[in-house]
Amino acid sequence: MRTVVVGASSGLGRCIGVGLAQRGAHVALLARRRERLDDAAKEAGPGTVAIACDATDEESCRSAITDAVAALGGIDALVYAPGIGPLARLVDTDAPTWRSVFETNVMGAALVTRAALHHLTESHGTAVYLSSVSASMTPPWPGLGAYAVTKAALDKLVEAWRAEHPDVAFSRLVVGDCGGGEGDSMTEFANAWDTELAAEVMPEWMARKYLSGSLIDVDHLVNMVDAVLRGGASMSVPSITVAPRPPAK
């Protein structure tokens, strides 16, 4: 399984990239922080390659996919994990913030897919995109409105690719709370959040039961991705959800 994982320098994308390699895939790890990718590639084992890529930059996507194809000999699977979720109420969300969230969460997914499409079509491959429960299973979470809007747009983007390219199996992976792994594999999603605002909105999330108080085991997430990718285009998995089970009453 020749697999490209974008957003593989930290958190869930790193766990997926390293985990798939350890389950036998030949993996190219992509993200902006090259030195982080080199460490991840070492952990993943021989044959894993690290390639710098800014998903919001068309030329960077094109050249990273060219390098990945040269290293892997083609692409059977693509995983798009980049996602940013600046914590801000909508009334405080300005144009640069909207732009960066859309560029990373939606446009980047489209640009990477476009760059890889020919190779995915040739292999009848699979593309998986990490979405969020806050876009489809719960109402948008206060303070993460822009994030939920872009993940809903990502969900629609996955459907739109599927409608135009039935030869490729496009799948969205709806993810609930997950801390990732340890060290560099830990999620950095909330690292830049304003702690005062976080202290304000988190009780709202708890009160509305958006947070269950538990986290998904990231190995289960990797197993799910592995299963979807192994199915290839012969198996249709338009959407899959991996979320913590709500606490027993």
Residues in contact with ligand NAP by CB under 6 A are: 6-13, 31-33, 36, 53-56, 81-83, 104, 108, 130, 132, 175, 177-178, 180, 187-189
Which CB, 28 or 130, lies closer to ligand NAP?
130
Residue 103, SS3? Answer: helix
Which CB, 82 or 143, lies closer to ligand NAP?
82
What's the closest the beta carbon of residue 3 comes to ligand NAP, in angstroms?
16
Which CB, 69 or 233, lies closer to ligand NAP?
69
Report, in angstroms and rounded to the nearest whole number, the Rg of the chain calculated over CA atoms.
17
How many C-beta atoms surround the C-beta of residue 202 within 10 A? 17
Beta bridge partners of 175: 132, 242
Q: Give the whole-angstrom CA distance, residue 149 versus residue 154.
A: 9
CB of 216 closer than 8 Å to CB of 244: yes
What's the closest the beta carbon of residue 167 comes to ligand NAP, in angstroms?
25
How is residue 171 written in tokens?
């799948």
Nearest to 46 by CA among 78, 24, 64: 24
Which CB, 83 or 143, lies closer to ligand NAP?
83
Residue 57, SS3? Answer: coil
Residue 28, SS3? Answer: strand
Instruction: Give CA angle at 114 (155, 174), nearest 5°.
Output: 20
Q: Is 80 a catalytic residue?
A: no
What's the closest the beta carbon of residue 243 comes to ligand NAP, in angstroms?
9
What's the closest the beta carbon of residue 91 comes to ligand NAP, in angstroms?
22
Residue numbers annotated as active site: 147
